[in-house]
Amino acid sequence: MPFNNVRGRFGGVAVRRSLIVPSSSFTPGVLCVACGAAPVLCALIAPGLGLNPVLAAGAGAMLTGGVALTLLSRRRARGGELRQALEQLEPGTPPAPDESLADALARAARAARQRLAGAEELEATLRAVLDGVPSPVLATDTSGIVLVVNQAASEFFRERPGPLVGRNFEELFTQAEVLSLHAAAIQGSVGQGQVRLTGPDGARLYQVFACPTPGAGSVGAIMTMRDVTELATAVQLKTDFVANASHELRTPLSAIRGAVETLEVGAWDEPPMRERLTRMIANNVSRLEDMVRDLLDLSTLESPEAPVELSTSRLSDITSTLRDVFEGTAAERGLMLSFEIDPRLERLHTDPKLLLLVLRNLIDNAIKFAYEQTEVRVVGEYVPAPAAVRPGARFRVIDQGIGIPYGAQHRVFERFYQVDGSRTGHVQRRGTGLGLAIVKHAVRRLGGAISVESVWKQGTTMTVELPASVEFISAEPAA
């Protein structure tokens, strides 16, 4: 008959085991867990004596005597060790009194697998977070061996052969500042500094942070490198801008103040001097107005919130406005201002205010630096485009003047940059140094590009490309 539990005392040892083998199916080789003694002995006795397996197990235990007791003690010792291990795997959840060792082990295995899966998931999450940091990050041990790197660090050192993990920190960096920060971090100090490092994008400025690995004692260092090249450039540009703007504003203000003081001490009563000084004041006031206007234009163009108001505009209206603005100035210097515009550019999809700003500054520059009795040409060209894409427009402002030295051509779009005035003595009007900077930003806002071609003492051509800016026309004129 089937049985489930057996309670008894064999050889002075209390036994309580869960049995799952019915007497009718007990065969040699089935492990007996009733007494903890040699189960094979029980299996041999039961068939021969026709005994119930429980009695056979008890008889086997008494016959074996001290052997059974010894084996049971050993099993109990092993079970105690396993149960202690289970309690360590599952703190606060001791095995139930009637829970078999196999069930407890299975439960502990399930818990261990769950914890392992959780640890693997956490490790994957931390790895994803680390790789999501755009700055290179490295972790080393106390001897300087790299233990962990993120994806950005791998990209930074992609030209170095071999894996990064396992290499010495000094193999990756040779800069004394970086090595000093790393050594201090291993000793428990936090530090940072700016270092110029050469990476896949060339030499750039990095803010290097170093700190000891969190935990008890100093067990390594974590190094983070943040690219601050653009930030440093912006800070430098801001500093230069303030210095240049202050200088440019101070010059006309000083001239105005000097003229006023001269008039106050008696020059007012001398008509020729009075006329000369009042004209000086008027010219410098005009220059201040131009500078304030250009500063406002530049500030507006550099603001990301400033909208670009695209609409269908007539180019003939823009050229008419430009002609009215510059004809008088051109006539003063004996210059001829001509507009050569392709008729297909009449309807443009653009911001008319920005386009007017671009052409106005380019024409103003051309008139300033052109030789007298020459021509300033404004050429508008139609640029074909693939089907379903708007054609583009190309504007060229061409002068015959002093030109721009080759070494200065890459700098003419910088704010306040002006070619050496000592070589431009025939230029009667001094600019603010902001015109071409305004043009560059305005063209970018229109989605275009600007380039310069110049030959020293022969002339300059400024070219503005505005792709997809011409409204579709039904048919193009035959060539």
Please give the Cα distance from 414 to 454 (Å, whole number): 17
Do domains 133-227 and 235-302 share one topology? The answer is no
Q: What is the CATH number of domain 133-227?
A: 3.30.450.20
Q: Give me the pLDDT at residue 115, please.
A: 86
Q: Which amino acid is at 165?
A: V
Q: Give me the pLDDT at residue 210, please.
A: 92
- Taking the model in full, what pTM does it have? 0.53
Q: Give me the pLDDT at residue 84, please.
A: 56
Q: Which letter does DSSP use for residue 265 in this model?
A: T
Report residue 183 as tokens: 């050594």
Q: Give me the pLDDT at residue 350, please.
A: 93
Angle made by CA atoms 314, 293, 379, in degrees to the nearest 5: 35
The strand pairing partners of 227, in sequence order, are 206
Q: Give me the pLDDT at residue 263, please.
A: 87
Considering only the top CATH level, what class is 311-466? alpha beta
Domain ranges of the chain: 1-132, 133-227, 235-302, 311-466
Q: Which among 146, 161, 276 has a CA at the least distance from the CA of 213?
A: 146
- Does the 235-302 domain belong in CATH 1.10.287.130? yes
Rg of the chain (C-alpha set)? 45
Averages of pLDDT over each 10 residues, the chain, 479 residues: 36 36 38 39 38 38 34 46 53 61 80 85 83 88 90 87 88 90 90 88 89 72 90 79 77 88 84 88 86 82 80 93 91 93 93 92 92 94 87 95 87 76 47 82 92 92 94 54
